[in-house]
Amino acid sequence: MATEAVPDEVVSGSSSGNATKQKTDAGLIVAAARGWIGTPYVHQASLKGKGCDCLGLLRGVWREVRCEDDPEILPPYSPDWAEAKGEETLYKGLKRHLTEIDTAAISAGNVVLFRMIAHGPAKHCGIVGMQDGRLTLIHARQNKQVNEEVFTAAWRKKMAFAFEVP
């Protein structure tokens, strides 16, 4: 998500995301995320096969596996939203609706959040998958399509937060 979070003060809508504490099946999450592979990167979009950014991918998978609307209404956000504010806006938003876990305990179906710049705000996210016994990362990146790649040491180094989908 090179550009995937929104200012807290302009987010409105339902905050019922954490109301249900039953963990969503990891296999359903990964299968839903893989269904987005090949979707072109489009800033602020969340439409499978047409376009999404990294937050749009999470929103689309949420709608598929939870069978409910986005948990918050998102206002427009600029590509430099995180740098402009210098806040952990995406982390705060995800924490409102997901269950935070230790980054050392990630597994398939978890949502992960990355700092793309050392000491910068965490502003890119994806979904952990598993192939051939190895963790993978399903995500949308600027100027690329949604893809699945090996969860390398470089991604682990950038990982700042991890969550389970309730």
For residue 88, give both structure tokens.
């952990």
pTM for the model stands at 0.83
Could you give the CA distance from residue 53 to residue 137 in angstroms, rounded to a whole number? 14
Mean pLDDT of 4-29: 51
- The confidence band for 87, taking pLDDT boundaries of 50, 70 and 90, is confident
Q: Which pLDDT score, from 0 to 100, does residue 79 have?
A: 67
CA angle at 118 for the pair 114 and 73, rounded to the nearest 5°: 40
Q: How many domains does the chain have?
A: 1
Burial class for 91, CB neighbours closer than 10 Å (0-12, 13-18, 19+): buried
Q: Which pLDDT score, from 0 to 100, does residue 86 have?
A: 72
Answer whether residue 129 shows pLDDT above 60. yes
* Helices (H), ranges, the chain: 26-34, 54-66, 81-85, 89-97, 153-158
Sign of the C-alpha dihedral, residues 160, 126, 93, 22? negative
Q: What are phi and psi of 41, to 5 degrees?
A: -75, 125
Asked whether residue 33 is assigned to any structural domain, the reply reads: yes
Which range of residues forms the domain containing residue 58? Answer: 23-164
Specify the residue for token string 């705060």.
Answer: 92
Answer whether residue 119 shows pLDDT above 60. yes
The most confident of 14-28, 44-58, 59-73, 86-100, by mean pLDDT: 44-58
Q: Which pLDDT score, from 0 to 100, does residue 110 have?
A: 98
Asked whether residue 11 is assigned to any structural domain, the reply reads: no
Asked whether residue 57 is assigned to any structural domain, the reply reads: yes
CATH number of the domain residue 79 falls in: 3.90.1720.10
Strand 99-101 to strand 159-164: parallel, antiparallel, or no bridges (unpaired)?
A: antiparallel
Asked whether residue 45 is assigned to any structural domain, the reply reads: yes
Which residues are paired to 125 by β-bridges? 113
By mean pLDDT, which of 28-37, 72-81, 117-126, 145-154 is the weakest? 72-81
Q: By the 8 A CB rule, do 5 and 125 touch?
A: no
Q: By the 8 A CB rule, do 54 and 4 touch?
A: yes
